[in-house]
Structure 1
Amino acid sequence: MRDVALLFLKLGTIAFGGPAAHTAMMRDELVRRRGWVTDERFVDLIGATNLIPGPNSTELAIHLGFDRARWRGLLAAGLCFILPAALMVTALAWAYVTYGQTPEVRGVLYGVVPVVIGIIAHALFGLLRVVIKNVWLAVLAVAALAAYLLGVNELLILASGAILAAAARVVRHPLRGRLHGLVAVPLAVGSGHPLFPNPGGGQLWQLFATMLKIGSVLYGSGYVLLAFLRGDFVDRLHWITEQQLIDAVSIGQVTPGPVFTTATFIGYVVAGPIGAFLATVAIFLPSFLFVGLLTRLTNTIRSSPWTSVMLDGVNVTALALMAGVSYQLARTAIVDPLTVAIAVVTLLLLWRTKLNNAWYIAAGALIGLAHTLIA
């Protein structure tokens, strides 16, 4: 459990770039460098966590912790992955509330994000060999990527991947294309200054309950999270302004670790440190519960012929989504010859060495700061 805690504490501190980057870094650390799980098991966990609501990279961390050290590992991995980001966001929220602005981090991100692009690209190439098992799955991956880039909902793409993979099995094995051996897999359905300097118990409870609801039903990207937060905290409760919401989402994006720590920022703006704590606990608590239930189903899913082929479809579409997000991130991060060089050199070093990702992140941050000072 100590090994799990230390590893995910480090990942939570350096994992910039969103869920796709987090997944790539976890693969590098757990599959490539430590050999704790195989690539086959790793992609199965990616697919399984895409079936439940909540922050997928956090849920992947929780499940990997369970694989390594059972229930204590489950708790250690999740808490240690979330904690660094939650503390950073709380500090930034304090600066925001106290001084009306947050510290400038663009210089750091200028150098760090191209490093993240290189890390993601390395992971994608490695996982392709495991996920693309035949020509049909390759076609499905291309179709899923195209659908994502055209704006199709992520959950619809994942569900279509599972259904099409099952349909392909019926075509290939018509005599066995029956419900025998089908395992039912339950899916959750769902789609300035503090305003309360002395919040009462009722207000704190409403903050907790609202964040708990969002963590229990939210599928999709940070843009979907933005829609949920706007609906509840801006339009319904009127606790924050539109600008405060945008600032909160921006802080969640530029800090390492889970993007869902946007909730930490909002909690602080609404009710100070206790609000930040309650909001963080509430939005992440469903992930621990969902993964705790999922651990009992993952092996069963893979052992059944029907659910196994459906999981293959989910895995390949999840990888396509990861590629699509990475492409969009690269378009905004690879902006000049220096950022191109950072990404390419990172990718080459990952292929040729087994250096820890933290060194690449640190080097990118230093290059970004130096570039900002010179500019």
Structure 2
Amino acid sequence: MANNTTTTTPDRPSFRDALKFWFKLGWISFGGTTGHISIMHDYLVEKRKWISNSKFLQALNSCMVLPGPEAQQLAIYIGWKLHGKKGGITAGTLFVLPSMFILLILSIIYVIYGNTPLLISIFNGLKPSVLAIILVATYKVGKKALHSSIHYIVALLTFALSYFLHVAMPLVILGIIVLSVIMDKLFPKIAGIAKSGVNTINTEQEKEYTINLTQQEKLLSGKAIVRLLLSFLALWGVPFLFLLFWGDDHHFWSSLVFFFTQTACITIGGSYTVIPYVAQLVVLKFLWLSRLQMLDGFALAETTPGPLIIVLSFVGFIAAYNHFQHSILFGVLGLLATTYFTFLPNFLFIFLGAPFADKYKDHHLIQTILSLVTAAVVGVILNLTFFLGRSIIFPEQLSFQGIDYISVGWVALVLFLLLRYNTNVLYVVLMSIIFGVGRYYFAIW
């Protein structure tokens, strides 16, 4: 009797099993994008075989082409491929909800007790660690993104335009797209991007996974696209109308909704692309919160699971809290509205854009744009480092006399732990809180 060696694709997991994982992921995904992706890869690829390694990497690359935080979009994508739109909505929502609720509680505590000396000292312990984390992100992204002279030029130019001239991020990205088209047509090799070859697929090995590369991606029909767009407009428009009719200040809520919807559409390259853009506008243009409050928001966001872009929820809370005469109720409404309108477009980008991104991700022009946008992210993170670091290192005046040497020392220590020992960010946060408490009691002695 001949042995049957045919490999069959395993059955899809039950929705209940997937739900358990997405719920758990939302509470344990500390460490930023790298931490989220590592957890998903370990469980979904290695342990459960719900998606093959090749398909996982392909999906991640596709998410990087689309606007939005790629870790959350990867969760939406995998949830969608497993259980349709219901699975995608569940995965994407549970990815954000835990960190949003934790940040909501921390934001309320912040505005009630934020002026107490002990809490101020805790934040003074957290802020240097935030600066160190951003510096490490600059280093790691730079190592992967800057591999030719044009990449260094784009990174430095982006930094100069955003930090010194305050050029809006949408204009920077538009400029990068124009530059990419020119580079692709006239000097394709200068960008340091080779045309992607066709990888050999082990068909039998791929079929051991529920989601794999042997499955053909189908583009949506015209009717499906129209239905999807109409559904999105309804989901966007109804809450917006609610805010206009019951929010007390039409101008404020219109500004908030359109601003955070816009930010969701320009986050190509991940959270670090949009955060500096938001930080400068909400502090310098809209005057919704101060530079120190923005720093505190970063510190709070680092203590929660979920994507770093969740700091925008804190921005929405403080913006509404400050605007409506220190109303915690309106602060809560501001946080919920900001979270909703920031993350809602990500579902549209995946359901509508993922099939196109999968189909055209190896196109040379798309690769050029993605490569130069990633290089620009280095400049953007550098901008964020200078924008926030100044208040940490020079809390009183920009001079040698104004340097906070204790904060500088803590930044150096955290950098050493992160780079030399790859210390978990959660441990760094806990250490920084203890450092802040110790700094407080040392000062009162």
User: Do they superpose with TM above 0.5?
Assistant: yes
1:194 corresponds to: none
Contact 1:165–1:309 at 8 Å: present in 2 too? yes
2:365 corresponds to: 306
> Could you report, residue by residue, the CA deviation over 1:60-114 in whole angstroms, capped at 9, with x for unpaired residues?
5532432554412211112223222222223444x38xxxx74443311222222
Residue 132 (structure 1) aligned with residue 177 (structure 2):
no
> Could you report, residue by residue, the CA deviation over 1:291-312 in whole angstroms, capped at 9, with x for unpaired residues?
1122224445633222221122
2:257 corresponds to: 212
Contact 2:292–2:391 at 8 Å: present in 1 too? no
User: How many residues in Structure 1 have an aligned counterpart in Structure 2?
Assistant: 311
In structure 1, how many angstroms separate the alpha carbons of the residues matched to 2:410 and 2:66?
A: 33
| CA distance 1:281–1:301, change in 2 (3 Å) | farther
2:73 corresponds to: 63
Per the TM alignment, residue 322 of structure 1 is displaced from its structure 2 partner at its CA by 0.8
Per the TM alignment, residue 266 of structure 1 is displaced from its structure 2 partner at its CA by 4.8
Per the TM alignment, residue 321 of structure 1 is displaced from its structure 2 partner at its CA by 0.4
Identity across the alignment (%):
11
Per the TM alignment, residue 32 of structure 1 is displaced from its structure 2 partner at its CA by 6.3
Candidates 20, 29, 39, aligned match of 2:35: 29
Contact 2:314–2:335 at 8 Å: present in 1 too? yes
2:316 corresponds to: 263
Contact 2:126–2:432 at 8 Å: present in 1 too? yes
1:325 corresponds to: 384
| CA distance 1:143–1:351, change in 2 (3 Å) | same
2:347 corresponds to: 292
2:204 corresponds to: none
| CA distance 1:2–1:142, change in 2 (3 Å) | farther
| CA distance 1:117–1:32, change in 2 (3 Å) | farther
Q: 3-state SS of the aligned residue for 1:221? A: helix
In structure 2, how many angstroms separate the alpha carbons of the residues matched to 1:264 and 1:168?
A: 42
In structure 1, how many angstroms separate the alpha carbons of the residues matched to 2:435 and 2:423?
A: 18
1:151 corresponds to: 165
> Could you report, residue by residue, the CA deviation over 1:248-301 in whole angstroms, capped at 9, with x for unpaired residues?
x75454131214423224545639555344322222222222111222244456
1:116 corresponds to: 130
Provide structure 2 residue ranges, at least 5 long, that are not aligned to the other structure. Answer: 1-18, 43-52, 81-87, 190-243, 267-276, 302-310, 394-402
| CA distance 1:137–1:267, change in 2 (3 Å) | closer
> Could you report, residue by residue, the CA deviation over 1:158-208 in whole angstroms, capped at 9, with x for unpaired residues?
22222212211222259xxxxxxxxxxxxxxxxxxxxxxxxx974459576
Q: 3-state SS of the aligned residue for 2:361? A: helix
1:254 corresponds to: 296
Residue 79 (structure 1) aligned with residue 97 (structure 2):
yes
In structure 1, how many angstroms separate the alpha carbons of the residues matched to 2:102 and 2:425?
A: 17
1:179 corresponds to: none
> Could you report, residue by residue, the CA deviation over 1:19-42 in whole angstroms, capped at 9, with x for unpaired residues?
xxxxxx414423567756999987
Candidates 161, 165, 186, aligned match of 2:176: 161
When the two chains are superposed, the root-mean-square deviation of aligned CA atoms in Å is: 3.7
Question: What letter matches 2:35 in structure 1?
Answer: E
1:279 corresponds to: 334
Question: What letter matches 1:79 in structure 2?
Answer: L
Q: Which has the higher Rg, Structure 1 or Structure 2?
A: 2
In structure 1, how many angstroms separate the alpha carbons of the residues matched to 2:374 and 2:62?
A: 7
| CA distance 1:299–1:134, change in 2 (3 Å) | farther
> Could you report, residue by residue, the CA deviation over 1:325-372 in whole angstroms, capped at 9, with x for unpaired residues?
113323332343332332222222223334321111111121122223
Candidates 259, 278, 286, aligned match of 1:221: 278
TM-score using structure 2 length: 0.59
Contact 1:44–1:315 at 8 Å: present in 2 too? no
Question: What letter matches 2:280 in structure 1?
Answer: Y
In structure 1, how many angstroms separate the alpha carbons of the residues matched to 2:278 and 2:155?
A: 19
Question: What letter matches 1:117 in structure 2?
Answer: L
Contact 1:122–1:347 at 8 Å: present in 2 too? yes
Contact 1:62–1:288 at 8 Å: present in 2 too? no
Contact 1:89–1:264 at 8 Å: present in 2 too? yes
Contact 2:158–2:379 at 8 Å: present in 1 too? yes
In structure 2, how many angstroms separate the alpha carbons of the residues matched to 1:173 and 1:252?
A: 40
Contact 2:159–2:383 at 8 Å: present in 1 too? yes
In structure 1, how many angstroms separate the alpha carbons of the residues matched to 2:423 and 2:57?
A: 19
In structure 1, how many angstroms separate the alpha carbons of the residues matched to 2:441 and 2:286?
A: 36
2:432 corresponds to: 364
Q: 3-state SS of the aligned residue for 1:133? A: coil
Per the TM alignment, residue 324 of structure 1 is displaced from its structure 2 partner at its CA by 1.8
Q: 3-state SS of the aligned residue for 1:151? A: coil
Per the TM alignment, residue 119 of structure 1 is displaced from its structure 2 partner at its CA by 2.0
| CA distance 1:252–1:115, change in 2 (3 Å) | closer
| CA distance 1:204–1:227, change in 2 (3 Å) | same
In structure 1, how many angstroms separate the alpha carbons of the residues matched to 2:188 and 2:428?
A: 48
Question: What letter matches 1:336 in structure 2?
Answer: D
Residue 172 (structure 1) aligned with residue 187 (structure 2):
yes
Contact 1:47–1:318 at 8 Å: present in 2 too? no
Contact 1:43–1:127 at 8 Å: present in 2 too? no
2:420 corresponds to: 352
